[in-house]
A and B are shown apart, each in its own frame.
Chain A
Amino acid sequence: MIELEMQKVTLGYDHHPVLEDITLKVSPGEMVGLIGPNGSGKSTIIKALSRVISPESGRILVDRRKITDIPRRELACMVGVVPQLPLLPSTFTAFEIVLMGRNPHLGLFQSESKRDWAIAWQAMEKTGTDELANRRVNELSGGEIQCLLIARVLVQETQAILLDEPTANLDIGRQVETLDLIKKLCTQKNLSVLAAIHDLNLAVQYCDRLLLINERRIHAEGTPREVITDKNIKEVYGAENCVYTHPVNGLPTVLLGAHRNNTIGTQSWR
């Protein structure tokens, strides 16, 4: 079980700060949602927690160890990432891409064993991508690639998973299937999951805790009920009076254009 932690972290590109003084923690068995407007720094947090970028100040801890003290291969056995729809090399097949998730578990002179193939194949079955196995990835749709990347992170067998917009290109059926799967793994295997999610309603449904990011800081944090309020949504997104209570599960739900002079879109684009 692995705990992810940021202590007073400032992140930026070329000394231009994107996020300042961020403190957060993701514990095993917990699914935390990162929400916030475009450009608020959700992906930046994911990059920092996978050591693609280094913080300008503050400390990042993975399993209570400083992230910079962990060799990259070991880190990749602890923390897996589903990136935001990347370009994949067109000449590889879907199965080969998924199998690359085994890379951190293999020594320099090792090659994938039958066991590694079986792990990859199982992950593809779980994510419904098994039928794509022999297709080249340039023939696949955005949604299919997203499912493949979920399969790849399962193959990586990490205790912590970071997801950057894992459902952005999926139809609603696949959105629910994917998040159900991640949620199930999170609770069953005590994984620490941090997911950047644009769709507030999905975030509310699936996350135990939400972090609302705006203007380089954490604007609000807590349970979905505490974070998704008329006040927070108006302050961050500029949309007024759009939070309702879900008629079945009682969770907050964001509905646009229902009534009460909705003014989304008036906030200037940063």
Chain B
Amino acid sequence: MSSSPLSIKPPGGTYLSGRRTRIYSLLGLSAVLIVVIALATSIGSVHIPLLTTFRILVAKLPLLDISQTWQSAIGTIILEIRLPRVILAGLVGAALATAGATYQGLFRNPLADPYLIGVAQGASLGAVTGFLLPVTWNIAGFGLIPLLAFAGALLSTATVYLLARVGKTLPVTTLILSGVALSALLGSIVSYLIISSGDKMHGIIFWLMGSFSLSQWSEIKIVLPYVAVGTAVIIIFARLLNVMQLDEEQAQQLGVNVERQKIILLVAATLITAASVSFVGTIGFVGIIIPHAVRLIWGADHRFLLPLAVLTGAIFMILTDLVARTVLAPTEIPIGVITAICGAPFFLYLLRRRKKAIF
């Protein structure tokens, strides 16, 4: 009590060592991500040794001079076919995990996922409409289906937002209920359209379950800015999201402008989700389970939870896509099937092992 404030030791190594562990985990996961990218790029129908893959990837980096010892066809497979697919999977995994963590934090609800307030059903309706329209179209990589999916996702979320607004406030419960109700409405329209879609049914269902099979660099160029900016914005506000885990009243009394904060986070999380699902379909499971798994392992502080979810989501999605395209090759399994088959057992294991409160 007598010493000056600065000389007093903060409590227990536990808090500090917890921070240190999480910082090391961030670095470790970044390394794992790089290895997983290289690994997933080297595996495929044409066998390319891991070392060659590494050389091809590293040669693309600036300032490094690596002489080409591989056939140019191999280089094309790696750089134009496999790498964009792996990168897009990583981006989408990161985006869905971040958006899921954000929605769970914002709604203070463990059942929240990125699709809770209408993004998925809006995107599905848009995409299905795109499948059924007798025209095709392509503007700078933005095909008709992604364009309509993106528009559908944003339109339905905006509708949910307007429905839920009460005066100047946005009550979270109203938002969730409006989202669930509008999703049900759009979902039944989608179901009817699928049933009456005839020979296009297979393509539609495959899209809904998600696939990275058509990934190209042009798509990454569109998705990346959304995901990068949206994720950055969310991570900047991570400390405020922590304070918002108290109730809204306490958050206000601790200086958080709760209504403004809700809108910023909702817009950011919705945009990264919409941009992701528009190109690859409404992949399930990742957005709800990855944040929980990260929370179980590393704790609930959003300043670590969010970046760790970015890395874990990316790694998980790249690996599941690898499984989806290799296990029954040359047939591809929809990735939405694989995410749950691979992820659920691991998550249940975590849940059993750690029996304390997880949310």
Please give the residue numbers on chain A whose beta carbons come within 8 Å of chain B beta carbons, in ascending order: 47, 50-52, 71-77, 79-81, 83, 86-93, 95-97, 100-101, 103-104, 106, 108-109, 111, 114-115, 117-122, 124-125, 130, 133-134, 136, 138, 156
Contact, CB under 8 Å: A91 / B299: yes
- The reply to whether A73 and B255 contact each other, CB–CB distance below 8 Å, is yes
Contact mask B224-255 → A, CB, 8 Å, 1/0? 00000000000011011011011101101111
Given A89-B245, A130-B11, A134-B12: A115 and B6 interface contact (C-beta under 8 Å): yes
Q: Across the interface, do B8 and A122 meet the contact criterion of CB distance under 8 Å?
A: yes
Q: Which residues of A contact B6 (CB under 8 A)?
A: 114-115, 118
- Contact surface of B with A, Cβ cutoff 8 Å: 1, 5-12, 14-15, 108, 236-237, 239-240, 242-243, 245-247, 249-250, 252-257, 295, 299-301, 303, 356-359
B246 to chain A, nearest CB (A): 7
Contact of A111 with B8 at beta-carbon distance under 8 Å, contacts A75-B255, A88-B246, A89-B108 already known: no
Query: Does A91 lie within 8 Å of B239, measured CB to CB?
Result: no
Q: List 16 A-B contacts (CB under 8 A).
A: A52-B252, A73-B257, A74-B255, A75-B255, A76-B255, A89-B246, A95-B15, A103-B240, A104-B254, A104-B255, A118-B8, A118-B10, A119-B5, A121-B10, A122-B5, A124-B11
For A111, what are the chain B residues with a Cβ–Cβ distance below 8 Å? 239, 303
Most central of B7, B252, B257, B358 by chain A CB within 10 Å: B252
Within 8 Å CB of A101, what residues of B? Answer: 254
* Given A89-B245, A111-B303, A124-B11, A72-B359 contact (CB < 8 Å): no
Given the interface pairs A87-B247, A91-B300, the reply to whether A106 lies near B239 with Cβ below 8 Å is: yes
- Chain B hits for A134, CB < 8 A: 11-12, 14-15
Main secondary structure of the interface of B (DSSP, over half): loop
Closest 3 CB pairs of A and B: A76-B255, A104-B255, A91-B300
Bound complex: CA of A118 vs CA of B252, how far in Å?
24
- Cβ of B249 and Cβ of A47 under 8 Å apart? yes
In the complex, besides A109-B236, A118-B5, 10 extra interface pairs with C-beta distance below 8 angstroms are A50-B252, A51-B252, A52-B253, A86-B249, A89-B245, A89-B246, A103-B254, A119-B5, A133-B11, A136-B357
Please report the C-alpha to C-alpha distance between residue A71 and residue B255 in the assembled complex, in whole angstroms.
Answer: 8
| Residues of chain B with a CB closer than 8 A to A76's CB | 253-255
Contact B236 A52 (CB under 8 A): no
A118 to B9, alpha carbons, bound, how many Å? Answer: 7
Q: Distance in Å from the Cβ of B156 to the closest Cβ of chain A?
A: 30
Known A111-B303, A114-B10, A134-B14: A86·B357 in contact at CB below 8 Å:
no
Distance in Å: Cβ of A92 to nearest Cβ of chain B: 6
Candidates B9, B108, B242, B257; contact of A72 at CB < 8 Å? B257
- Pairwise interchain contact B250-A77, C-beta atoms closer than 8 A: no
Structural contact, B246 and A81, CB atoms closer than 8 A: no
User: A52–B15 contact, CB under 8 A?
Assistant: no
Collect the chain B residues with CB atoms within 8 Å of residue A114's CB.
Answer: 6, 10
Q: How far is the CA of A91 from the CA of B11 in the complex (A)?
A: 18
Which B residues lie within 8 Å of A87 (CB)?
247
User: Which residues of A are found within 8 Å of B11, using beta-carbon distances?
Assistant: 95, 121, 124, 130, 133-134
Whether A92 touches B247, Cβ cut-off 8 Å, given contacts A81-B253, A109-B236, A134-B11, is no
List B contacts of A97 (CB < 8 A): 246
Complex Cα distance, B254 from A50, in Å, reads 10
B300 interface neighbour in A83, A89, A108, A130, Cβ under 8 Å? A89
Expressed in whole angstroms, the minimum distance between the Cβ of A181 and any Cβ of chain B is 13
- The CA-CA distance from A266 to B299 in the complex, in Å, is 52
Q: Is the CB of B5 within 8 A of A72?
A: no
Q: Tell whether A91 pairs with B15 under 8 Å between CB atoms, given A50-B253, A72-B255.
A: no
Is the Cβ of A96 less than 8 Å from the Cβ of B14?
Answer: no
Return the chain A residue nearest B12 by Cβ. A134
B residues near A52, Cβ cutoff 8 Å: 249, 252-253
Assembly CA distance A50 to B357 (angstroms): 31
Find chain B residues with CB under 8 A from A91 CB: 295, 299-300, 357-359
Give the CA-CA distance A103 to B161 in the complex, in Å: 28
Contacting pair A115 B5 (CB below 8 A): yes
Instruction: Say whether B295 contacts A100, CB under 8 Å.
Output: no
Q: Which residues of the other chain, B, contact A73 by a CB distance below 8 angstroms?
A: 255-257
Q: Which residue of A has the minimal Cβ distance to B359?
A: A91
Residue of chain A at shortest CB distance from B9: A121
CB distance from A185 to the nearest CB of B (A): 15
A133 to B11, CA, bound (A): 7
- Considering only CB atoms, which chain A residue lies closest to B257 in the complex? A72
| B6, B9, B108, B239, most chain A CB atoms within 10 A | B239
